[in-house]
Amino acid sequence: MEQSHGLLIILSGPSGAGKGTLCQELLRQIPNLKYSVSMTTRPPRPGEVEGIHYFFRTRTEVEAMIAGDELLEWASFCDNYYGTPRFAVEQAIQAGQDVILEIEIQGALQVKKRFPQGVFTFIVPPSMDVLAERIYKRGTETEEVIQKRLATAIQELEYVSEYDYVVINDEVPVAVDKLKSILIAEKCRVKRKPFVFKGEAK
């Protein structure tokens, strides 16, 4: 019997760990993988496109969706809301398509409560020095916000035990290969793919 439902893959970890880069590579290399576009109240960064990187909404709009239970998860991070529209994700999974969520840790823990059969993977940088370097290179945030992100990252590392897997993002190709191996293994798990042998043993 073939697997009838897709996998829900959750990637999260500290800001600057490289989740976005890994997500993009997975989407490029795996044809049946769908990216779940999140909503946010933060302003677009240079080059970000509505409906591709995020759905950019006002606080009032997102708060109305939260009240209406229209989000699979939501979180408040650095004074902005982030959330995942529920309907699109559930529809894709039920149609047999794999869906990947690139979300913050608060959101991932909410998804775990609602969808424990998801594949939860924690992405970490090789070191805190590397993490700081990556965030500074963005050049998109103030010193105050950067320091807040670094302090938050230290706290977030304590949640790694809540995840099924941890991947150190030192070299992108190596990290991507590890993530692909995780997905292959998950699809082979008995509880995800029940089957029956036909015929009699001879």
Indicate if the alpha-carbon torsion angle 13, 94, 35, 182 is positive or negative. positive
Q: Does residue 79 come out as left (phi exceeding 0), alpha (psi in the -120 to 50 range) or beta?
A: left
- Is residue 1 pLDDT above 50, yes or no? no
**CATH code of the domain made up of 8-187:** 3.40.50.300
Domain ranges of the chain: 8-187
pLDDT digits (tens, 9 = 90+) for 2-45: 456 899 999 998 877 889 899 999 999 998 899 998 899 999 99
pLDDT digits (tens, 9 = 90+) for 101-121: 988 888 899 999 888 999 999
Encoding tokens for residue 100? Answer: 């990947």
Indicate if the alpha-carbon torsion angle 191, 192, 198, 202 is positive or negative. negative
Encoding tokens for residue 99? Answer: 């869906």
Mean of per-residue pLDDT scores for the chain: 86
